[in-house]
Amino acid sequence: MEAKYMPLFISLLVCGLTSCDDGDIREEKEFYIDAGYVVKMDGSLKNIDQWNSKYQIVVAAFSAQDSYPLLAKSIPTTEFIHDFKFEGINPDCESIELCVLNSINKRVATLATLYDKAEDPTLDLNDTIYFNPDNLDAGMFACIQKNIFTKRCAYCHGLGETPAAGLYLTEGNSYKNLVEVDSRKIDTLKRVEPYNAQRSMLYKVLTEYGEDCGWHYNHTNFFYGNTMSNLVKEWINSGAPK
Ligand code: HEC
């Protein structure tokens, strides 16, 4: 007699289970899985207060090649982190990161990789991953340096013999080469004018390029979509904090 209700019951169960895999922020759900990896974090993060409410700093688990986490938990936006614990992390994930998500839960930048399956495939279910950052710079500029300038820009802007446009974007040099410094290309603009992305050459090169603009190099193809240029815009419009 009960048999005819079974398919419905099973499909409800499957729906319920898969919905937690759709990139939702886990914290917002009353959903608890008591098996899986555990992350414990104690330590200090500097400049974390630079982020505005459009961004969230989270510990998140990712499957391969995906910018949206399987699940994530926000960390407190205070300098000192005590007894942060994140349990029940899906053991099918490929990596666990301390990272920044934007308002649609897309990863904007990685601050630290806590676990990478490719490097340690032997982790057991219910194993604990400890992360103890010591004054790790979690600010907006540190993210831009690490995730944009060092990866995509420095090889033309500073790593070779002469930096393109006389602009160094290498670690330790970029801030003083950008903020309140006159642009070489358009001399009425600064490279970065704090609180004004529209009048900052750094934001313009990443978002504007036309046949008649007279620029020798098209910078707008560096990133797919506007996640990264928005990060630069938000940083400048927050006053370009160091
Ligand atoms: C393949 C080499 C190359 C790469 C990579 C590159 N640039 Fe450039 N960049 C140039 C050249 C060449 C110019 C000068 C363009 C011109 O004179 O029209 C320039 C100019 C600029 C300027 C204008 C500077 C000024 O004073 O007016 C900024 C800002 C800039 N780049 C930022 C970046 C950023 C940010 C990245 C990484 C996302 C980047 N560049 C990656 C070659 C590069």
| Domains of the chain with bracketed CATH | 19-138 (2.60.40), 141-237 (no CATH)
Q: Residue 96 has which token pair? A: 């666990």
What is the rounded CA–CA span in Å between residue 204 and residue 233? 10
pTM of the predicted model, to two decimals? 0.83
95 CA to middle of ligand 1, Å?
32
Amino acid at 216: H
| Ligand 1 contact, 5 CB (< 6 A) | no
| Ligand 1 contact, 148 CB (< 6 A) | yes
- Token look-up 């990478």 returns 116
Q: Residue 136 has which token pair? A: 């790790």
CA distances from 20 to 1, 34, 104, 157, 232 (A): 32, 14, 16, 43, 31
> Hey, whose CA ends up nearest to atom 38 of ligand 1?
153
Each residue's pLDDT tens digit in the chain (242 positions)? 444 443 333 333 333 344 333 444 545 444 455 679 999 999 999 999 999 999 999 999 999 888 999 999 999 888 899 999 999 998 889 999 999 999 999 999 999 999 999 998 888 887 899 999 999 999 999 999 999 999 999 999 999 889 999 999 999 999 999 999 999 988 899 999 999 999 999 999 999 887 667 778 889 888 878 899 999 999 999 999 99
232 CA to middle of ligand 1, Å?
15
Radius of gyration of the chain (CA): 22
